[in-house]
Amino acid sequence: MEHIIDFLGKNVLMIYIVVLSIIIGIEVIGKVPSILHTPLMSGANAIHGVVLIGAIIVVLGSDPGKIVEMCIGFIIVVLGTLNVVGGFVVTDRMLEMFKKKKTNTKT
Amino acid sequence: MTHITDYLLEILYLIAAVSFIVGLKLMSNPQTARGGNLVSAGGMLVAIVGTFFLYTGHHGHVGREAIKIECIVAAILCGGAIGWITAKKVKMTAMPQLVSLFNGMGGACAALIGIREMHHYFGNFAAEGTIMTSIIIGGVSFSGSMVAFLKLSGILKKPIRLPHYNLINNSWALAMIAAGVLAVLSAVHGHGLLGNAALLAAFAYGILFSVPIGGADMPVVISLLNSCTGLAAASGGFLFHNQVMITGGILVGSAGTLLTVVMCKAMNRSLTSVIFGAFGEGASVHGASEARAKGPITEMSVADAAVLMNYSKKISIVPGYGLAVAQAQHIIHELEVLLTQKGVDVSYAIHPVAGRMPGHMNVLLAEASVEYDKLVEMDDANSGFNSTDVALVVGANDVVNPAANNDPSSPIFGMPILEVEKAAHTLIIKRSMNSGYAGIENELFYSPKTSMLFGDAKNVLTRLVEELKNL
């Protein structure tokens, strides 16, 4: 029990952030029209591309002399970039069609 | 100096995190959605550039040797180019499998980060815990997403269901988690082998998890795997004490989970039935023989249908999966334009889950340059059917099945539908009397107000257009 309280106490700020992030995630998705389900899924996909930051950190922390480490690091950054760039571009394409065009249809 | 750069980076991370939140919020409204995506992208750019220039690591210093910089820049250019070109060039109808593909890339990234860092944190229980979490969740997400990609691309066609597959999958999941726990303990003692084994176990589970699931349920699975990748990213964030990874990852994990639940509700399917077993398999066998028992169906010739539509004032087109299969979106746009020129009020009634995923019909029709304001959402369409002369149902089945309202024993009971039976007349274009995804009979076909036009959608629509041109 003491260990638990100790852990919670030392990390309470992080816990605030996690809990608040969870609540915000839920709130933001609240009233989404079904037409936006797929684009939103794609948008969220792009955001978790933030894992690219971790990939960059890995490479920066690698040993420049070890070629294998560098190669693997390269692959990891490529993967993360694919997620980010691919994700945002796909989302943008899906959302492109949401712009209303001016037409001559009778009102 | 180090402190200032550290603080500056933290501030940039804060800006990025806020942009993700604001971006997602803006994306939940059609008017602001596109801008929301750009806001999130902007924040991501800030975070990436900031990390590249300002990151100094836990010990206050990280070497920026030339080879590392070149490695990162080259990799970003490579991945960026491939990602950009792929996303821009691929057909609109292939968008969902791309979402899955890129999701898988993110999962693999998180898993490999874990594999790489495992050796740096031997002896550290908390760190190895986050590492194994990234490895397992990232690994499952990667292989599961790849399978989903193959299924949606049509490369893997039928769901593969081993006997007792639920038992196998659940057992494997437990074994995989156990392997993860052991891997953590083993890494605390300085051994990385079990960590690699856990990765392989995760890859296998992702495959086992995804292959039994039917193509139409894939979007739900992709949404679930999407939120998993978010959690894997957050796990990496805990390892590196990186605020933007934590916030971004948890946001996606949370929003993604809720989105999955919301998508299930729109399909009137529970998440457990999607993952652990579909309904309707085998029912189509009964469906065919039951057809004869229900009474006569009325067929109409294309020529007569053309006349009926020509003299209508208001027509509502109801597109379904069959339209996508027949790739008839362009000809249906031609039909719509032709009818409009003849003075008919034409609109498209879009059911939220028509087709194989939410928004499928929108994407399909957008590809054919159908104007966005011709698409009418279900509730608005339903209030308009009373004054509609002809409802033209093309390749849609379950979404117009009255059993959802009338028959409590039906598997689709309770699902909101498009109430085309309120229209003066219903024309249904289908290849045969076969059932739709739900595998059940549709009494709409037997209604006296309904006429069937049998044939491939593209073929029938082309003939309709020809007939109309002669009228």
Flag if B226 and A77 touch (Cβ within 8 Å): no
Q: Which pLDDT band, with edges at 50, 70 and 90, does B337 fall under?
A: very high
Burial B79-94 (b: 16+ CB within 10 A, else e): bbebbbebbeebebbb
Look at residue B292 and tell me whether its pLDDT is greater than 70.
no
For A1, the token pair is 């029990």
In this structure, are A46 and A88 located in the same domain? yes
For B279, the token pair is 């309904």
Look at residue B135 and tell me whether its pLDDT is greater than 80.
yes
Query: Which position has the token pair 């894992």?
Result: A51
Please check whether residue B96 touches A, CB under 8 A: yes
In this structure, are A6 and A40 located in the same domain? no
Q: Which pLDDT band, with edges at 50, 70 and 90, does B198 fall under?
A: very high
In this structure, are A15 and A62 located in the same domain? no
Using CB atoms, pick whichever of A29, A60, A89 lies closest to residue B87: A89
Number of domains into which chain A is organized = 2
What pLDDT shows up at residue B60? 64
Task: Give CA–CA dist B175/B425, Å, rounded.
Answer: 57
What pLDDT shows up at residue B438? 67
Given strand B375-377, what is the order of strands in its sheet? B375-377, B345-350, B314-319, B390-394, B425-430, B450-454
Q: Which helix (H) or strand (E) holds B430?
A: strand B425-430
In this structure, are A42 and A93 located in the same domain? yes
Please check whether residue A20 touches B, CB under 8 A: no
Least confident of A85-94, B207-216, B299-308: B207-216
Helix (H, G, I), strand (E, B) or coil at B234: helix
Using CB atoms, pick whichever of B62, B237, B248 lies closest to residue A47: B248
In this structure, are A26 and A54 located in the same domain? no
For B227, the token pair is 């939120």
Annotated catalytic residue, options B217, B380, B398, B407: B398
Specify if A105 maps to a domain: no
More confident site: B76 or A38 = B76
Using CB atoms, pick whichever of B47, B112, B345 lies closest to residue A76: B112
Task: Give CA–CA dist B135/B237, Å, rounded.
Answer: 13
* The CATH number of domain B295-469, selected from 3.40.50.1220, 1.10.3210.10, 3.90.550.10, 1.20.1250.20: 3.40.50.1220
Please check whether residue A92 touches B, CB under 8 A: yes
Range of the domain at A52: 33-97
Q: Mean of the per-residue pLDDT values for chain B?
A: 88
In this structure, are A53 and A77 located in the same domain? yes
What pLDDT shows up at residue A32? 84
Task: Give CA–CA dist B199/B46, Å, rounded.
Answer: 32
What pLDDT shows up at residue B76? 97
Q: Which of residues 26-85 of A touch B (CB under 8 A)?
A: 26, 28-62, 64, 69-70, 72-85
In this structure, are A25 and A2 located in the same domain? yes
pLDDT tens per residue, range B420-437: 999 999 999 988 887 776
pLDDT tens per residue, range B383-413: 999 999 999 999 888 889 888 888 887 777 7
In this structure, are A40 and A25 located in the same domain? no
Segments making up each domain of chain B, as ranges: 94-278, 295-469
pLDDT tens per residue, range B32-85: 999 999 999 999 999 999 999 999 886 667 888 899 999 999 999 999 999 999
Mean pLDDT of B143-150: 94
Specify if A38 maps to a domain: yes
What pLDDT shows up at residue B67? 92
Specify if A45 maps to a domain: yes
Identify the closest residue of chain A to B19 by CA–CA distance. Answer: A47
Task: Give CA–CA dist B131/B125, Å, rounded.
Answer: 10
Look at residue A101 and tell me whether its pLDDT is greater than 80.
no
Look at residue B282 and tell me whether its pLDDT is greater than 50.
no
In this structure, are A57 and A20 located in the same domain? no
**Residues contacting residue B157 through CB under 8 Å, at least 6 positions apart:** B151, B215
Flag if A37 and B358 touch (Cβ within 8 Å): yes
Specify if A37 maps to a domain: yes
Catalytic residue check, B304: no
For B262, the token pair is 């919301």
Look at residue B295 and tell me whether its pLDDT is greater than 90.
no
Flag if B68 and A40 touch (Cβ within 8 Å): no
More confident site: A52 or B277 = A52
